[in-house]
């Protein structure tokens, strides 16, 4: 078979390669997974937990090496890359939460006694993106395995080495065949979705999600989708402008804007507009861009030339339509796009309505809360959002935003134990939390006559 070559997006150098999976071999891989899954499903939750804890130790022991490879393969700063790997190594609390979520539950109404079992579906196809190439597989693979499923992971063709490192770490302790990996692009992904799998868990673009949902629907396969976002940020009177501007810069430019919950649209009350822009430009100037291996770098490159060209085209079209460039906007080299601040962005511009996934902060003035809310909801997406201002007023605005996760004077991520959830066309089903873990299991109800 031919090789899938991985390149450093900052330099174009070859990082490594893996063998591309023959799509014709995927049905046999699924059959092997189904057979291996029988023994895996027969284990207790505790037994599965203990084996995965051992795999966590393997990840921890290799975190720095895997993190450096992740940095070179995907482009994010080394500190963040190592942190991503280490966050997946320390999984004891996560596994305990999964054990609790998946344990049998008894409901007795005095007449009937029902036991809710959460059993494996069988074989899970996990299809993951390149922007968090270690943690995204972890989010799908770990709850799938804990629920007793066998898993076939199809990672992005942009970051195969990092995903292979994740699978290798887990397979150091897992029974053979329970976790397998498919390498390739669309052909392999489509073959996996069309194969005899029971659940497809996918994170990626809305367009790809539509194709997966359509294909999976032919066999009524279960589907969990986390799709794109166009996250709004609303800045109200009473907001702490320095903090709001600092968050806007950090959340617009982190990972070169290649985050599903990046701040892509900022709506600021007219009276705060120019002061906020000044503060945002000042925060943007503090950021250092470069190769992720270099000391002090906070922003790396775009993943590839295709994504770079998409973002630059959006910027150029917005400027041609009247947006003001206050930072960046030009001087880009290779796959690097300088962190860019655009003012006076309108919804007639593509950059205000289409997902960008790049280091661009788009700022728009609004007359009042009602206009901010209308513009925040003027999108088919609904992943995350944030509202900045006096708490009671901000909460009122936040309750009107049609998104799954909304932060008040902070990011959208919730407290420990809350789900990561999108609304509208940002997908359905969700990850994390007890309810999120339970989506990787089939509920079965066994009922007897209650003891009297």
The DSSP-derived string for 146-210 is HTT-EEEEE--TTSHHHHHHHHHHHHTTSPTTSEEE---SHHHHHHHHHSS-SEEEEES-HHHHH
Helices (H), 254-356: 273-285, 305-320
Give the number of other Cβ atoms within 10 Å of residue 450's Cβ.
Answer: 12
Strands 3-7 and 420-421, by their bridges, are: unpaired
List the 222-226 sheet strands across, edge first: 179-181, 150-154, 123-127, 199-203, 222-226, 427-428
Contact 404, 386 (CB under 8 A): no
What SS3 class is residue 22? coil
Q: Which of 154, 134, 167 is nearest to 67 (CA)?
A: 134
List own/partner pairs for 321-330 with CB under 8 A and 24 or more apart: 321/346, 321/348, 321/349, 322/346, 323/349, 323/351, 323/362, 326/277, 326/280, 326/281, 327/281, 327/284, 327/285, 328/284, 328/359, 328/360
DSSP annotation of 432: S
Token pair of 347, please?
Answer: 């919804």
Catalytic residues: 226, 260
Contact 227, 205 (CB under 8 A): yes
What SS3 class is residue 220? coil
Strands 3-7 and 14-19, by their bridges, are: antiparallel
Contact 236, 389 (CB under 8 A): yes
């Amino acid at each position: 078979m031919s090789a899938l070559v991985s390149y450093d997006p900052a330099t174009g150098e070859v990082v490594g390669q893996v063998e591309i999976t023959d799509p014709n071999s995927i049905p046999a891989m699924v059959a092997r997974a189904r057979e291996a899954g029988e023994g895996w499903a027969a284990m207790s939750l505790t037994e599965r937990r203990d084996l995965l804890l051992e795999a966590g130790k393997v990840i921890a022991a290799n975190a720095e090496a895997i993190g450096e490879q992740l940095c070179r393969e995907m482009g994010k700063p080394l500190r963040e890359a190592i942190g991503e790997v280490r966050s997946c190594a320390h999984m004891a609390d996560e596994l305990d939460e999964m054990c609790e979520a998946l344990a049998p539950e008894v409901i007795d109404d005095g007449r009937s006694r029902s036991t809710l079992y959460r059993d494996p579906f069988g074989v899970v196809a996990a299809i993951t993106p390149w922007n968090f190439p270690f943690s995204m597989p972890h989010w799908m693979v770990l709850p799938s395995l804990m629920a007793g499923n066998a898993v076939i992971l199809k990672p992005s063709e942009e970051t195969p080495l990092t995903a292979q490192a994740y699978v290798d770490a887990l397979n150091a302790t897992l029974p053979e065949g329970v976790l397998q990996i498919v390498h390739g692009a669309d052909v392999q992904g489509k073959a996996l979705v069309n194969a005899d799998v029971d659940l497809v868990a996918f994170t990626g673009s809305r367009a790809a999600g539509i194709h997966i949902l359509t294909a999976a629907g032919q066999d009524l396969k279960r589907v969990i989708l986390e799709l794109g976002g166009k996250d709004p940020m609303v800045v109200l009177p009473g907001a702490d402008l320095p903090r709001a501007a600092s968050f806007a810069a950090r959340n617009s430019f982190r990972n070169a804007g290649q985050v599903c919950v990046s701040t892509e649209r900022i709506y600021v009350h007219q009276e705060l507009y120019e002061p906020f822009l000044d503060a945002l430009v000042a925060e943007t100037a503090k950021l250092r861009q470069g190769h992720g291996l270099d000391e002090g770098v906070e922003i790396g490159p775009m993943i590839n030339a295709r994504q770079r060209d998409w973002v630059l085209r959006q910027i150029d079209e917005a400027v041609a339509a009247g947006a003001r460039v206050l930072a960046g906007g030009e001087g880009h080299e290779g796959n690097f796009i300088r962190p860019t601040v655009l003012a006076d962005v309108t919804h007639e511009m593509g950059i205000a309505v289409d997902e960008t996934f790049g280091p661009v902060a788009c700022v728009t003035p609004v007359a009042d809360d009602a206009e901010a809310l209308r513009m925040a909801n003027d999108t088919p997406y609904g992943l995350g959002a944030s509202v900045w201002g006096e708490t009671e007023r901000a909460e009122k605005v936040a309750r009107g935003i049609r998104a799954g996760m909304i932060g008040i004077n902070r990011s959208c991520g919730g407290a420990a134990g809350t789900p990561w959830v999108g609304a509208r066309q940002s997908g359905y089903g969700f990850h994390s939390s007890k309810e999120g873990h339970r989506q990787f299991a089939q509920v079965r109800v066994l009922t007897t006559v209650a003891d009297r």
